[in-house]
Amino acid sequence: MYVRHIRNFDLVLLLTSLALVAYGIILIYSGSLPSYESAAETLANPVARQITFAVLGVAVMLLATRTDYHLWGYAAGLLYLLSIATLLFVLVLGDAIYGSRRWIEIGGTQVQPSEITKLALIIVLAKYLSDRQERLGELKVFLTSLGIALLPTLLVFAEPDLGSAVILLAIWLSMIIIAGARSAHILGLAGALLASLPFILIALITDYQRERIQTFLDPESDPLGSGFNTLQAEIGIGSGGWFGKGLTEGTQTQLDYLRTQTTDYIFSVLGEELGFVGAMVLFALFVVLLLRALRTARLCQDPFGRLTAIGIVAYILFQVFINVGVNIRLLPVTGIPLPFISQGGSSLITLFIALGILQSIRIHQRLRPW
Phi, psi values for residue 161, rounded to 5° = -140, 85
Residue type, 220: E
- Rank residues 68 and 222 by Cβ distance to other proteins and give the closer one: 222
CB atoms within 10 A of CB 211: 17
Alpha helices in 196-302 (DSSP H): 197-204, 207-217, 228-240, 251-254, 266-299
Q: By CB under 8 A, is residue 183 in contact with other proteins?
A: yes
Report in angstroms how near the CB of residue 150 gets to other proteins at its nearest: 22
43, 151, 238, 248: residue in contact with other proteins (rule CB under 8 A): 238
Q: By CB under 8 A, is residue 257 in contact with other proteins?
A: yes
Report in angstroms how near the CB of residue 271 gets to other proteins at its nearest: 7
Q: By CB under 8 A, is residue 9 in contact with other proteins?
A: no
Alpha helices in 67-206 (DSSP H): 70-93, 113-131, 139-157, 162-179, 183-195, 197-204
Count of positions on this chain that bind other proteins (CB under 8 A): 52
11 contact partners, CB below 8 Å, separation of at least 6: none
Q: By CB under 8 A, is residue 139 in contact with other proteins?
A: no
290, 341, 349, 353: residue in contact with other proteins (rule CB under 8 A): 290
DSSP string, 187-226: HHHHHHHHHTHHHHHHHH--HHHHHHHHHHH-GGGSTTTT
119, 123, 169, 297: residue in contact with other proteins (rule CB under 8 A): 297
The region of 44-52, 102-110, 116-124, 171-179 touching other proteins under the rule CB under 8 A is 171-179
Rounded to whole angstroms, the Cα distance separating 171 from 197 reads 20
131 contact partners, CB below 8 Å, separation of at least 6: none
Q: By CB under 8 A, is residue 324 in contact with other proteins?
A: yes
**Contact residues for other proteins, defined by CB under 8 A:** 34, 98, 174, 177-178, 180, 183-184, 187, 224-226, 228, 232, 234-242, 251-252, 255-257, 271-272, 275-276, 279-280, 283, 286-287, 290-291, 294, 297-298, 310, 313, 317, 320-321, 324-325, 328-330
